Structure 1
């Protein structure tokens, strides 16, 4: 039995790590408080620690997934080059407008209007961005550089100034929406301890810091090398190449842990070939960011998202439903691939079950063009045998199986 006196007695302890002594004790409300008692580290080490505290999530590197440092390094470089390009494009626009107030005001209105049009068009593509955040994030920066390039070139065609500036901002509008929409899925992939808000806040702090650095670099370039159009034509493409390279490296480091068509196929292929479950970190550099809808033969050449009426003949619908009576998917074998159609409320687990059946059926029926009903039944039974441990290990590796992100793919309901 704990006495009231014992309850009121504070519990203190001291921890020494990396030449820093920290004293901990429990507050009355049960929270732990900490005070630095002695810090004999060199000044440079204190500065580095301060930088980590300001710009990295609490508990770094243990509170984030693998690849966060590389992602952050190239993100910093991306922001520097992006901000520098923005300065150059703004300078060119001012030259092209002749620094006259009225045209400049009209241009600003047109530019903003075209950017809003781009945002509205892109806002309808949110589901696809959830499914393929990496590809859309890269596309966003390519479009941003395209828009910036048009602005930089605007002094070469002053008679088309409004058209060029408007088109440039249209591309930038799409880029802004795509970049913002993919930010949350990317941050979510790094969160490990319910620290998404901390990750987001520190990530935005890094963006702000290095955007300021990039603006300074851009101002310096604009007043020296890039004060002429010839200088811009040399430096602009170099900055753009470095910018896109940084984005690609940054995005490839992201271990996206949600299931879409490509990642599901890669998981199933690795499981069937090597008997192992790949983690998000294992697959991050294997994703095809250009051809996201590619078919993977080792995973059964499955394609998801086509309408039920286009993939299943009425005469076969009843037969398939009998085989997959309790399931939320249907499989239809075509000449080049296997179509999987999901029910409206199907989850990632349902998609995984269907994918395994398709892969096993493809292996069983290699000799025939289309697996028979008995082959499908055998594949289905085999899937049921392996699925419980398969799913448990998949979730233990960090995959989120509660949803399947098929973009704007078609689903059905009975």
Structure 2
């Protein structure tokens, strides 16, 4: 091959990412460019190349995370099933506000609605313009706006640290809202109330879904190409919605005036939607530590001396919001949440030379962070808080070091002993985190913004 290239006069070669390679030949005094015959991966497949350039980020697959393709495939399935479920909900809402009494009228109105291409949030305004139920859009839009503001205020800081959980929660809530819209026409006295509650749910879905999608885009971007990934995701979603629209046009005449078939199809689409969403968030492998992943990795390390890789830890990470009772951890609290008198400050500083304070108040592990604390100090503080939570929770799987801590009943003495324990294990643990390719220069731990400076004098 080398002799052939020499005789053909190869003067340069070039490659488009990992997709294709070309060479420049000098022949008869002229330069000619041709595809490298040895590169057979995508040779001659122009349709595939155009499809990738339209719907995938530039530089794919090197420009995105390794889990990008698997996530997007499942995300496409869930978007398609959600589009069909939305059609059924739209058709039911139109019937509920009195769009005619004949099958053709309902079908025509729904098809017109779909072809207009309006978003779900505009449904109430559309109905208001067409029908006499003026209070429906007023209540629904108003309650939806309030719900959006309240949810962003209460849970906005959780959407980064627990993106997987809130992503799945948003999709489940969206299915609940669509089910309420489908069921609402069968309860005429409560139609407005049901639709308003569904509107609140959908407003929460808008906040949680949009914010967590942005967080996942940050994870997927490998070349500061968030905007490109987001734009291509929009193109993929538009293509899926177009396919859903075509299927919906054939589906509407079948379900019109047939509530049983509507509920059956909605159930099937919802099952597919939830399954695809579960597989999508399960496919995401984040190398940044949040509370759940750090807890899994650190406790496995204490129990077995084994450090889980990002892939292994993400497989074990829960993706559903927990309703079980556990000892809460508050990171970045005010000093007054830990210390109420000078003597308690001295107790908090016992055996502690770290830029953070830990205390146990009212069954909650509280961490007060110093203004000079680094990211690694934050990880250390979170690990110590997780140890204290495991001891307070009376976890039956405690390791030897934690079992010794469990024998201590006084809260401040427990904190003091935990400082000694964390000093023994953390630096080795942190070194192995780096070796396992975990990101230790940043975290997704849910720290509040309080930073404190205190007297370094200790008893």
Measure how far apart 1:182 and its partner are.
0.8
Q: Which residue of 1 aligns with 2:396?
A: none
Deviations 1:153-179 (A, max 9, x none): 222123433222222111111111110
Q: Residues 55-134 of structure 1: matches in 2 within 5 Å? A: 55-99=55-99, 101-103=130-132, 107-124=136-153, 125-134=155-164
More displaced 10-residue stretch of structure 1: 110-119 or 197-206: 110-119
Closer, same or farther: CA 347–93 of 1 in aligned 2, 3 Å: farther
Q: Does the 8 Å CA contact 1:144/1:172 hold for their aligned counterparts?
A: yes
Closer, same or farther: CA 398–392 of 1 in aligned 2, 3 Å: closer
Structure 2: tracts of 5 or more residues without a match: 1-10, 26-32, 101-129, 388-399, 454-459
Select 1:304's aligned residue among 324, 330, 334.
330
Which has the greater radius of gyration? 2
Q: How many residues align?
A: 389
2: CA distance, partners of 1:330 / 1:264: 19
Measure how far apart 1:77 and its partner are.
1.0
2: CA distance, partners of 1:390 / 1:293: 32
Closer, same or farther: CA 303–245 of 1 in aligned 2, 3 Å: same
Q: SS state of the match for residue 259, structure 1?
A: coil
Q: SS state of the match for residue 151, structure 1?
A: helix
Closer, same or farther: CA 150–366 of 1 in aligned 2, 3 Å: closer
Select 1:389's aligned residue among 431, 439, 444.
431
2: CA distance, partners of 1:97 / 1:136: 32
2: CA distance, partners of 1:195 / 1:181: 17
2: CA distance, partners of 1:380 / 1:16: 49
- TM-score w.r.t. the length of structure 1 is 0.78
Deviations 1:11-57 (A, max 9, x none): 732569999652479xxxxxxxxx76589999994433332332222
Q: SS state of the match for residue 13, structure 1?
A: strand
Q: Which residue of 1 aligns with 2:51?
A: 51
Q: Does the 8 Å CA contact 2:71/2:280 hold for their aligned counterparts?
A: yes
Whether 2:445 is the aligned partner of 1:399: answer no
More displaced 10-residue stretch of structure 1: 56-65 or 207-216: 56-65
Give me the CA root mean square deviation: 3.9
Q: Does the 8 Å CA contact 1:187/1:199 hold for their aligned counterparts?
A: yes
Structure 1: tracts of 5 or more residues without a match: 1-10, 26-34
Deviations 1:107-154 (A, max 9, x none): 344433333222222221210111211111111112211211111122
Select 2:293's aligned residue among 260, 263, 267.
263
Q: Does the 8 Å CA contact 1:88/1:226 hold for their aligned counterparts?
A: no
Q: Does the 8 Å CA contact 2:335/2:452 hold for their aligned counterparts?
A: no
Q: Which residue of 2 aligns with 1:31?
A: none
Q: Does the 8 Å CA contact 2:80/2:241 hold for their aligned counterparts?
A: yes
Q: Does the 8 Å CA contact 2:88/2:182 hold for their aligned counterparts?
A: yes
Measure how far apart 1:200 and its partner are.
1.9
Q: Does the 8 Å CA contact 1:129/1:181 hold for their aligned counterparts?
A: yes
Whether 2:205 is the aligned partner of 1:178: answer no
2: CA distance, partners of 1:401 / 1:21: 36
Q: SS state of the match for residue 442, structure 2?
A: strand
Whether 2:322 is the aligned partner of 1:280: answer no
Measure how far apart 1:320 and its partner are.
2.3
